[in-house]
Amino acid sequence: MVSVDNKFAERIAQIRSMGFDAVVISGTDPHNSEYPAPRWKQVEWACGFTGEAGDLVVTPDHAGLWTDSRYFIQANAQLAGTGVELHKTRVPEEVPIPQWLAEHFQKKPVRVAFDGLCQSVGAVKALDDALRGSYGLGGYELIDEPDMLGKLWNERPAIPHTPVEVLDERLMGETRREKLTWLRGELAKRGCGAMFVTSLDEIAWLLNVRASDIDYNPYVISFLLVTPQTAIWFVRNVSEVPVIPDVVNADYSVLEDAVDDRRGECGKLFIDPSTLNYHTLKTLRKYFEESQMVFGDSPIVLRKAIKNKKEIEGFRRAFIEDGVAMENFLYWLETSVQGGARITEWDASEKMTYFRSQIEGYRGNSFENISAYGANAALPHYSTPRAGSAEIKPRGLYLCDSGGQYLFGTTDITRTVPMGRCSRQEKEDYTLVLKGMIDLTLAVFPAGTAGCQIDALARRPLWATRRNFGHGTGHGIGFYLGVHEGPQTIRQNFNPQPLVPGMISSNEPGLYREGKHGVRHENVVLCREEGKSEFGTFLSFETLTCCHIETSIVMKKLLNEAEWDWLKAYNRVVYRILKPRLAPEVAKWLKRKCR
């Protein structure tokens, strides 16, 4: 039997045998999705790395995986024995793939191959610019090989197709027609008559449709061409897709024919190069001159990030329903473990999903549950194994990061809880991370402030004690869409996008000690207007998450009066809201927790 390590080493050798100087394999799909369907998990197939963010480069003398700090520990474990080396991203010493390739080769010309269906236009441009700067015109060749791993990947999964759900537009707060009219107006401002939309979450939002083609993300694998007169939706198995008003359904396979037929009414075509794949751009170039294509950031991204009143109302409901599920889960976990039951991380994950599944309007989890006990919680994106997961003991810390997809909103919450006696270091780490989360929650800042400008508020208590975490502090959250969305972020990396009233973001600082424990506290917050003065408009956050925060191991001396008052007040509100919805024994338990 071939060992797992040898299996991946053999696959790397197969990739080398294709005869290129370098093969670049992305961790995404033809729509630049964060979570691709199994068919496009090409990095996982090639080297065994299962994280959501990772790109692979294979040369005759080197194989490297590029990923960020969320996955460093995981990558080192999964790559062991494969011959693939970890390259760290989002660190000061980062050498991105284009720069690394530009510095790696001595001979010319350099032949770099990639799957153009799974590389965005922007990513290929970055490659082209770096190689040209190093090797000059004629010193390199970029080779688009669509589905190139299909030649090596036996039993590769098919492109998924799941039933399409057309949403009740009363839940959305805005009709499909209103959204399409708005988009056409935005395109007109840019001197364009049409837009080719490739991002799956943008299509789902614009058409008020959902499906399950991607795990945890309610998307339909498709493209959309919006012209002044028509919206043409290119979908698979078109005969099974509902006919919806204001939209013409067309098969995925007739993209070229439809573009050819409609180019006369398009005028200039707007394209977002960050999501359009390189191979499809080559198709569009058959019908549009360069002067007829305008490249820029999709206006849909910001528009869908600013939630309307109906969406905000839905989010508030979602977090209350989700809070009931969370409290039932935490009660079950604590009483079961303290009562002597053998509960594994997998058991806990399944129980969490069960409680959510009882909520009317539940459509699945919003990402894979992170159910991690002890040292496993030091992996920020720990993948809980079905077989052999750790038993949760009545001591130390347990971390659960999870969320739900509901017809009326998407949730994301992390709670780290003591299962019994904790060390002084665990208590101190727990308290300092909580202090950072509260400090960001209490922030008041002028309109126009970007998330990167207030990220330090969540890190200051950790920095002051020479501690830190490598991931971002906050990300946007979609409305029954992706649990991660932009354009806003709260992280150290520079992002000029201001926080705007109506944006919903996570607030989730953490701390991870390899081989010991991990701590993360996460609430979701709504950006809102705080008030005006002669100095301008000021903004603040409203907390949407409704689940108590454990105080039994808080080192109170590390919190100031305002932080401690916020924590007590937050728990009182949670108890008041959730008490009527809980069984008497759970409500009694929660009352003790919220004192």
Tell me if 160 is assigned to some domain.
Answer: no
Same domain, 293 and 230: yes
**Strands 404-406, 362-365: parallel, antiparallel or unpaired by DSSP?**
antiparallel
In a domain, 156, yes or no: no
Structure tokens at 153: 């990947």
Q: Look up the CATH number of the domain holding residue 383.
A: 3.90.230.10
- On whether both 122 and 205 belong to a single domain, the answer is no
Instruction: Establish whether the linkage from the previous residue to 299 is cis, with ω within 30° of 0.
Output: no
Task: Give the whole-angstrom CA distance, residue 240 versus residue 164.
Answer: 8
pLDDT at site 1: 37
Tell which residue, 468, 416, 415, 442, has the closest CA to residue 560: 442
Give the domain-ending residue among 272, 304, 336.
304
Boundary residue ending a domain (119, 151, 183): 151
Helix axes 176-189, 200-207, angle to 10 degrees: 120
Same domain, 401 and 414: yes
Give the residue from 304, 334, 363 where a domain finishes: 304
CATH number of domain containing 67: 3.40.350.10
Give the pLDDT score at 261: 79
What are the average pLDDT values for consecutive 10-residue runs of the chain, which has 595 residues? Answer: 71 94 95 91 94 92 92 89 92 92 89 95 94 92 93 92 92 94 97 95 97 94 93 90 91 82 86 93 90 95 98 98 98 97 98 98 96 96 92 98 97 98 98 98 98 98 97 97 96 95 98 97 98 97 98 98 98 98 98 94
Q: Following DSSP, what letter does each residue of 558-580 receive, concatenated? A: GS-HHHHHHHHHHHHHHHHHHGG
Q: Record the pTM.
A: 0.92
The DSSP letter of residue 17 is T
Task: Please state the domain count of the chain.
Answer: 3
Range of the domain at 474: 306-593
Q: What is the distance between the alpha carbons of residues 477 and 505, in angstroms, rounded to a whole number? A: 6
Return the number of other C-beta atoms located less than 10 Å from residue 145's C-beta. 17
Do 530 and 465 fall into the same domain? yes
410 near 480, Cβ under 8 Å? Answer: yes
Examine the domain organization and report whether 48 and 132 are in the same domain: yes
